[in-house]
Amino acid sequence: MVVFDDTNAEDIFDYIPPQKNNQIFTPKKVVREMVDLLENENPGCFDNPDHTFIDLYMKSGLYITEIVKRLFNSEKMKRLYPDDNKRLDHIFEKQMLGLAPTEIIYRIATAFILGFDENAAERKHNFKLYDALPAAKEGRLEQELDKVFGK
């Protein structure tokens, strides 16, 4: 199973011009730098099957996809979940969470994140259509996350 192949240097999100709203797509190079920084500040974070990651304002799905790649390709995760599909099930069901502010952004992000996956229609995940910005501004984000994700 060839999953998360980085050999293609071209990125469709590089061709999307800046929008007139806050829906600006973060370039893949910047996303990789962000995830590298996360790993540098938290060594081994992608080796722990109990760590969770969230994107509170998904736009393209690049950030989540980059984290999924790191988790999927972790040698420790491979030992714990040697079957690729079971490893992906664990990652999507237990480790990754994401919120998209609009229906179209939700569809773009989930299509990008799960687009590689022939089992995408059946794969359980924790990506939700929810605009977290108002709750964050009002200081009630934690309570809203509990409601949205049922935790």
Residue 57 has pLDDT above 70, yes or no: yes
Cα end-to-end distance, the chain, whole Å: 33
Of the candidates 69, 71, 62, the one whose C-alpha atom is nearest the C-alpha of residue 30 is 62
Please give the pLDDT value at position 62.
93
- The per-residue pLDDT for range 111-140, each reduced to its tens digit, is 989 887 777 778 899 999 999 999 999 999
Q: Is the per-residue pLDDT at 6 higher than 90?
A: no
